Chain A
Amino acid sequence: MEVGLNHYLVLAAAVFMVGMVGFVVRRNTIVMLMCVELMLSAANLVFVAFSRELGDEAGHVFVIMNFAVAAAEVAIGLAILVQIFRLRRTVDADDLTTLME
């Protein structure tokens, strides 16, 4: 069976779902950030798959943009986490409910 666009789309959907479940279930904020990375990775896969399907490299450019955005997100997110840890001595999402109260 020849591998086509649909295979990649199904795989990307599965990976995105795994990341989404992880984001909801895990309470360690660092692992939650990693789950976001996994979801971004699934989106990248869809970009490249459609790029291949349509024979147009524009999708590759968007993936490079996504890399930069992901790097920025990780840098800021982890900096915030480090500061939260300094103040509260925890990165457990269940304990960080100051805004909710």
Chain B
Amino acid sequence: MEAFLFYGGGLLLLLGGILMVTSRSAVNAACWLVLAFLGSSALFASLHAPFLAVLQVLVYAGAIMVLFLFVIMMLEGPVLPAEGKRPKVAVGLLAALPVAVIFALVARRLLALPEHGFTAVAAPGFGQPVAVARLLLGKYLLAFELISVVLVVAIIGALALGRLERSKPWK
């Protein structure tokens, strides 16, 4: 089951990512990214993290991607004229080459390590919402509060950036 989720989710994630980068229309790219995030959610499920799997679908594939699509529709319509006229395959390959070399080195090193499953046997209740919440509201409470401050700052910042009259200063 874990292997199936890993290969299925990994395929979705990688395929979605590659298709997102190569698709010309921004709307298509957003849809492929949703697919990639669904694959990522399956990977979380395979790693005994059901809470994160649900959050990934709700927050990423739901909220964030809707925001992206909304802005794409609002701005320039599906295809940007600038990217329609330029098939930059050569540039893409040129950029991908050094990255592929680095990836090959990393992958070779990682796959040379001794092959085994996960060392820790997942304890009963590992990764369940209860266990994560204990940490989140216990040991990492300060970080949790600070991250909510970050969110508030982001909301206020987005509001301040989004107001219409640019010339008038804040009263």
Report A's interface with B, CB cutoff 8 A.
Answer: 1-11, 13-15, 17-22, 24-28, 30-31, 33-35, 37-38, 41, 44-45, 48-49, 51-55, 57-58, 60-61, 63-65, 67-76, 78-83, 85, 90-92, 94-95
Contacts and interface: CB of A to CB of B under 8 A. Distances in A.
Given A18-B18, A61-B135, A78-B71, A52 B150 contact: no
A60 B120 contact: no
Given A11-B10, A48-B52, A24 B95 contact: yes
Contacts of B67: 74-75, 78
Interface size class of B (residues with CB under 8 A): 35 or more
Given A15-B17, A64-B136, A92-B82, A3 B49 contact: no
Contacts of A24: 95
A11 B13 contact: yes
A85 B75 contact: yes
B92 A3 contact: no
A19 B47 CA distance: 22
